[in-house]
Structure 1
Amino acid sequence: MGSAPRGTAVALAALLNAPVLAEESEIYRPPITNSSWEDKAIEASVYDNPYAVSLFSAPNGEDAERVWSQTKSVAWYGVGVAGFLALLPSDFTNWDKSDDRLLEKWWDNVREGPVWDRDVWYINYLGHPYFGGVYYQVARKSGYRQWDAFVYSFLMSTFYWEYGIEAFAEVPSIQDLVVTPVLGWVYGEWAFNKEREIIERGGTVWGSEGWGSTALFFLDPVDSIGRGVNRLFGKDVIKAGTGYLGMQEMPMRDGRVDTQVQLNLRYAFGGGEASPGVSQHRRASGVHHANDPVDYGMVGMTLGGGYLALDGDWQATDEWTPTISLGVYFTRSFSARLSYARTELTDKRSGETLTYENYSLDGQYYFNSQSDLRPYLTAGIGEALRDQDRDLKTFQVNGGAGLHYRLSPNWAVQLDWRHYYSGRFHNNDDLLSGQLVYRFGKGERAL
């Protein structure tokens, strides 16, 4: 694109309330891209079909070009990340570094998976949600609503990473397919709003622009690198940056308070001089704050414990076991969860201790959904493993029932019974558990 034309520099200088100098008119300034979804004038009819996906059509003024530009950037950055991980020890990443032909290795891994992986906890439950949140922000900061950003994160984490780059090195992971986009939704929305807060107060953290720039980089490294590349070349190589509209109250001389709109841009990167923010005050007439019924409050976690009664063919003692799940509560009547239980059992024949694991992907249908007390039915598929040995695993189907009691929009308790049947060993196992449910954000809403 070359240097910004003088007309653009004049317009931006007007926003800065600063005089335009001849030499300043040739300085590259990133253009305002778009405001966030909440700052758009959205018709209520948009939410008539709350799960409609606009990611590929951008009917509401979303910036599809920015998404495509940043997607191409992510693709190249991912190759670099994969190269870095390939240099790390195999016992850290669990990546296979054999000399097999790459395409054959990729196909073998894809055919074998997905499996329950053995990566260290901070890779599975911190690293993957972080990068899921980075994917999420590509769409969110391009003016898309939360649901579209979640769908984008799911597509990127599943097909670009798990079944794409990472499948050249290891079998796709069950946890990563769920945890990356779901917890990435939670982290990505938090990071999206935290970045906005930092920018609206002038790009500072603890009063420091250095800490502010560091925080902005780690909150969204893809966008930060894009802004840095653009400044380096003096033109828009990558569509990056977002204009934010913020509301604030301005005192007037007669004592009244006027609500105004503040437009903020962040265009500094690295060692360059940081802008304290660009602000232009205008009356807030016509500004609409969307009330999207689909937000990250749909994401919920459960934590509890239960009693595991195993089929006699296991030749192992029945035991208490901790249970955990991560799910999405699509409506008050339907949810889907990834559930996991693990405990130590005693082999009745040898007296030795063995490890039992059970994981499943389940769906729940709730009756009496508008009340606090909701009976539900649950069904799903999964696997049980003994001693983390994939040769001793068995595919299972499960079904059961439970009671869900809503304490508040964010908290609930539930009693859950599930019966598991194994097609390989013809085992019949039962798990009765009690769990505490937590919903993120605003929690349960009217949907």
Structure 2
Amino acid sequence: MLIQNRNNANRLLKNTVCFCLFYASSCLYAQENNGEEGPYQVKPTNSAWEEKQITPSFYDSPYRVSLFNAENGEDSDRLLSQTYSIFGYGFAVIGALALMPESVTNWDDSSRDNNLGAKWLENVKAGPVWDRDDWYINVVGHGYFGGVYYQAARKSGYRQWDAFLYSFMMSTFYWEYGIEAFAEVPSIQDLVVTPVLGWAYGEWAFNTEKEIWANGGTVLGSEALGNTSLFLLDPVDSLGRNFNYLVGQDIIKAGTGYFTYQQVKSPYDETVDNQVGFTVRYMYGSGDSKALPGISGKSRERSSYTNSPVDPVDTGIIGFSVGGVYVNPDNSWGLTDDYGYQWSLGLYFTRRFSTRLNYSTADLKGKQSDQTVKYENYGLDMLYYLYAESDLRPFLTAGIGEIMFDEDRDDKTFQINAGLGLHYKLDNNWALEAGWSNYYSTSTNTRESQISTSLIYRFGRGEWSL
């Protein structure tokens, strides 16, 4: 336990040091400018998905991918520029960590002595595993950086689904199986939590940043709070704008700008709506436009989205559940039945289909020794719902995963599972669920079963679409 706490503390220290370095560089922008007019001005570089004229037939396949084919006017050049920036920052971080002492990084000598490639391959082959990091690292930390990846695509004019896929690829291949694999084995939780919670956070940050710019880049009337908030919401974009200012030209495609007015057809019927864009103009120096009251040298134009056409794929498909579980282990384990708890995080793609990362745990006692053994079961499950248009929906579930006792990774057991249950929709955001699942391992020829009940929360607008 002491070793695990030290590892978590060291990971938090590494992230804090790197984060502070990034923030210090971002402050140069505001300090260097100091309210004086200079030769360089931040320019809007992109438009939001909500501003584009989307053919209604596009939503005939709501999960179609435009990330590699900017057919709707997405700014692929900006996204590529942001990606290059992320790669650059990441390699700078790993270079700095390589110079730090082992007491900070937990990298042993084999990770330093020209064996980084071998260490990376060893960690990749060993994973993914269920890690033991504290919740604030797995949930808050990874969710935050997933949101940073997400915004790189979202602010380049891509829809939410494409931005999520970009976050998934970056968090999986660039970070989890890329940079971080030089230091540790990839994590099962991080592969799911980073892009999924990153979607929820990233969309909130995307809209919050627009509100700050609309207020002249201030928060509570303070420019310092505004600059700090803008950096915290999206450090990659903030660093890009700062770098452009320092060199006096647009080397990195960064920043945001929104403005259009157009008439578009609804994707669901023949009605025509007026779509109004959102304009943010943030100028340094005296400027030529009317300044905001009490804020010298800044100007703005503002309207609000009517969000038409409406994208049916948004944060509402993200769902989190928590509840209780009754565990009935195989007799060969020599453990008694007992109660525990479980949680899940997943995507509810339609009313008929969802996929989730499930985790359940219970403290079971030995039948002979009466000693307590920690039981853990985790895996990726798929659920298919019957009578999908009804509030009460029977479902079938199947998946793969592992069980582990007393957190012993060397003795984990692979399993397949199948089950059934009932899902009851309370409203668009909340639902109740009860289920039974049977788990089977071919390697040990053992069977476990679980009975569970849980409360489900759907993010955003919840089950409003699809």
Q: TM-score interval w.r.t. the shorter chain?
A: 0.7 to 0.9
- 2:242 is aligned to 228
- 1:117 is aligned to 131
Q: Deviations over 1:276-326 (max 9, x none)?
A: 343288xx9x98633000001100001000110111111111110101000
- 1:6 is aligned to none
Q: Aligned partners of 1:91 and 1:352: how far apart in 2? A: 35
Secondary structure class of the residue paired with 2:312: coil
Counterpart of 2:149 in structure 1: which amino acid?
Answer: Y
Cα deviation for residue 170 of structure 1 reads: 0.9
- 1:169 is aligned to 183
Q: Is the CA contact 1:332–1:366 (under 8 Å) kept in the aligned structure 2?
A: yes
- 1:81 is aligned to 93
Secondary structure class of the residue paired with 1:28: coil
- 1:148 is aligned to 162
Task: Find out whether 1:211 has 2:225 as its counterpart.
Answer: yes
Q: Is the CA contact 1:203–1:277 (under 8 Å) kept in the aligned structure 2?
A: no
Select the residue among 162, 172, 176 that pairs with 1:158.
172
- 1:331 is aligned to 350
Task: Find out whether 1:265 has 2:276 as its counterpart.
Answer: no
Select the residue among 54, 58, 63 that pairs with 1:51.
63
Q: Deviations over 1:175-196 (max 9, x none)?
A: 0100000000000001001111
Secondary structure class of the residue paired with 1:134: helix
* Alignment CA distance shift 1:166-1:219 (3 Å): same
Select the residue among 430, 436, 440 that pairs with 2:455.
436
Secondary structure class of the residue paired with 1:263: coil
Q: Is the CA contact 2:148–2:234 (under 8 Å) kept in the aligned structure 1?
A: yes
Q: Aligned partners of 1:44 and 1:132: how far apart in 2? A: 30
Cα deviation for residue 174 of structure 1 reads: 0.5
Secondary structure class of the residue paired with 1:276: strand
Counterpart of 1:316 in structure 2: which amino acid?
Answer: L
Q: Is the CA contact 1:310–1:318 (under 8 Å) kept in the aligned structure 2?
A: yes
- 1:97 is aligned to 108
Secondary structure class of the residue paired with 1:68: helix
Counterpart of 2:404 in structure 1: which amino acid?
Answer: L
In structure 1, list runs of 5 or more residues that go unmatched. Answer: 1-22, 248-258
Cα deviation for residue 109 of structure 1 reads: 1.1
Counterpart of 2:108 in structure 1: which amino acid?
Answer: K
Counterpart of 1:435 in structure 2: which amino acid?
Answer: S
Counterpart of 1:338 in structure 2: which amino acid?
Answer: L
Q: Is the CA contact 2:399–2:418 (under 8 Å) kept in the aligned structure 1?
A: yes
Cα deviation for residue 118 of structure 1 reads: 1.3
Pairs within 5 Å for 1:339-350: 339-350=358-369
Cα deviation for residue 48 of structure 1 reads: 1.5
Q: Deviations over 1:2-31 (max 9, x none)?
A: xxxxxxxxxxxxxxxxxxxxx97x721233
Q: Is the CA contact 1:415–1:435 (under 8 Å) kept in the aligned structure 2?
A: yes
- 1:367 is aligned to 386
Q: Is the CA contact 1:200–1:277 (under 8 Å) kept in the aligned structure 2?
A: no
Cα deviation for residue 115 of structure 1 reads: 0.8
- 2:12 is aligned to none
- 1:251 is aligned to none
Pairs within 5 Å for 1:368-383: 368-383=387-402
Select the residue among 356, 377, 382 that pairs with 1:358.
377
Q: Deviations over 1:240-291 (max 9, x none)?
A: 00103499xxxxxxxxxxx98652134669xxx985343288xx9x986330
* Alignment CA distance shift 1:275-1:237 (3 Å): farther
Cα deviation for residue 70 of structure 1 reads: 0.6
- TM (norm. structure 1) is 0.86
Q: Is the CA contact 1:199–1:277 (under 8 Å) kept in the aligned structure 2?
A: no
* Alignment CA distance shift 1:86-1:364 (3 Å): farther
Secondary structure class of the residue paired with 1:109: helix
Task: Find out whether 1:278 has 2:300 as its counterpart.
Answer: yes
Q: Aligned partners of 2:438 and 2:242: how far apart in 1? A: 55
Secondary structure class of the residue paired with 1:369: coil
Secondary structure class of the residue paired with 1:244: coil
Q: Deviations over 1:220-241 (max 9, x none)?
A: 0000000000000000110000
- 2:41 is aligned to 29
* Alignment CA distance shift 1:305-1:88 (3 Å): farther
Secondary structure class of the residue paired with 2:417: strand
Secondary structure class of the residue paired with 2:421: strand
Cα deviation for residue 141 of structure 1 reads: 0.2
Task: Find out whether 1:61 has 2:77 as its counterpart.
Answer: no
Counterpart of 2:300 in structure 1: which amino acid?
Answer: V
Q: Aligned partners of 2:352 and 2:103: how far apart in 1? A: 43
- 1:11 is aligned to none
Q: Deviations over 1:86-122 (max 9, x none)?
A: 67887887x5434151111111111111111112221
Select the residue among 297, 300, 307 that pairs with 2:326.
307
Secondary structure class of the residue paired with 2:133: coil
Of 114-123 and 410-419, the range deviating more from structure 2: 114-123
- 2:309 is aligned to 290
Counterpart of 1:357 in structure 2: which amino acid?
Answer: E
In structure 2, list runs of 5 or more residues that go unmatched. Answer: 1-35, 262-274, 286-294
